[in-house]
């Protein structure tokens, strides 16, 4: 069996004892349909993209994992969405308001919103994601404390807001403010090798995409399904996932919402342009 040098290095690096697991395998040729609603899990890549086709991580998962995502009743991530709905309607802070006091029915006011983030925020002169937009509303409109990373209601409320865009194709606007510069910075980081293992995001998710590493089938590392439910660790935010992958290369892990991780979030979101928002996706 022919095993590429990189895959061999990876398999060794990740502690695999069996190099045969570094075999290549195609993503499944199946359509993702959630509760009867078709999702876009393969899309023609935007101009300048390293792949011809952008592929959802769902196509790389085992049949049992894939099955959990196609039915909301079975999807364990839906519990977080329900928790998010409760928070949406809960009054908090000195202004005596809930999210619903201003935004009403999320199914209407938040429809499609999650597919367009990160977005340029003119006030902070940075891109912000849904997590930070929620914090902005909490501190500026509700007189409530912003959530600390992955704490309080941050993950379930983000999942609830993003769920309102389920099925919508990811599309971010790079023409606003300095979004293009953040994209450039994110791209640079994506291709920079770091850590003791000297690997970049691209080493695994581009060069080795499709390879089997231990029990994992390497996907394109898309973020259209976040926050998502991981069978091994429960609900997981995008930046938590980034941090985990960086930790696996034994590099120093940047802080959540740091410039580095935000630039990566902008760039990686763009790499998934055209894929449906799948929140809450289910992964291994």
264 binds ligand HEC per the rule CB under 6 A: yes
242 binds ligand HEC per the rule CB under 6 A: yes
277 binds ligand HEC per the rule CB under 6 A: no
| Comparison of 187 and 241: residue with beta carbon closer to ligand HEC | 241
Q: Which of 39, 70, 246, 277 binds ligand HEC (CB under 6 A)?
A: 246
- Pick out residues in 187-216 that bind ligand HEC (CB under 6 A): 199, 201, 203-205, 213, 216
- Pick out residues in 94-133 that bind ligand HEC (CB under 6 A): 97, 99, 101-103, 113, 130, 133
Active-site residue flag, 245: yes
263 binds ligand HEC per the rule CB under 6 A: no
Closest-CA residue to 266 (of 166, 136, 147, 132) = 132
Three-state DSSP class for residue 40:
coil
What spatial distance separates the first Cα and last Cα of the chain, rounded to whole Å? 27
Q: Distance (Å, rounded) from C-alpha 10 to C-alpha 20?
A: 12
- Pick out residues in 2-61 that bind ligand HEC (CB under 6 A): 10, 57, 60
**Residue 93: left (phi > 0), alpha (psi -120 to 50), or beta?**
left
Three-state DSSP class for residue 111:
coil
In whole angstroms, how far apart are CA 192 and each of 185, 242, 249, 267?
Answer: 11, 14, 12, 14
266 binds ligand HEC per the rule CB under 6 A: no
Under 8 Å between Cβ of 80 and 159: yes
Under 8 Å between Cβ of 197 and 249: yes
Active-site annotation, residues: 245
Which residues are at the interface with ligand HEC (CB under 6 A)? 10, 57, 60, 97, 99, 101-103, 113, 130, 133-134, 137-138, 141-142, 157, 161, 199, 201, 203-205, 213, 216, 218-219, 221-223, 225, 228, 241-242, 245-246, 248-249, 264, 268, 283
């Amino acid at each position: 069996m022919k095993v590429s040098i990189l895959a061999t290095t990876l398999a060794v690096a990740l502690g695999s004892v069996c190099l045969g697991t570094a075999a290549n395998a195609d993503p499944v040729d199946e359509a993702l349909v959630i509760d009867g609603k078709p999702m876009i899990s393969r899309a023609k890549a935007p101009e300048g993209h390293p792949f011809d086709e952008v592929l959802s991580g769902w196509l790389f998962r085992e049949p049992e994992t894939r099955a959990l995502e196609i039915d909301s009743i079975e999807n364990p991530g839906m519990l977080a969405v329900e928790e998010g709905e409760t928070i949406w309607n809960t009054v908090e802070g000195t202004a005596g308001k809930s999210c619903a006091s201003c935004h009403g029915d999320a199914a209407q006011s938040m429809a499609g919103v999650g597919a367009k983030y990160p977005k340029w925020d003119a006030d902070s002169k940075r891109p912000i994601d849904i997590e930070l937009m929620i914090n902005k509303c909490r501190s500026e409109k509700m007189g409530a404390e912003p959530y600390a990373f992955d704490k309080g209601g941050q993950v379930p409320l983000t999942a609830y807001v993003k769920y309102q865009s389920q099925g919508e194709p990811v599309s971010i606007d790079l023409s606003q403010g300095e979004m293009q510069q953040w994209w450039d910075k994110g791209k640079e980081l994506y291709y920079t090798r770091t850590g003791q293992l000297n690997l970049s995001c691209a080493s695994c998710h581009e060069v080795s995409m499709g390879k089997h590493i231990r029990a994992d089938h390497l996907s394109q590392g898309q973020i259209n399904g976040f926050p998502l439910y991981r069978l091994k660790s429960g609900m997981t935010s995008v930046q938590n996932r980034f941090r985990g992958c960086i930790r696996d290369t034994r590099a120093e892990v940047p802080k959540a919402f740091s410039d580095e991780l935000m630039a990566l979030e902008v760039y990686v979101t763009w790499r998934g342009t055209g894929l449906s928002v799948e929140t809450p996706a289910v992964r291994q």
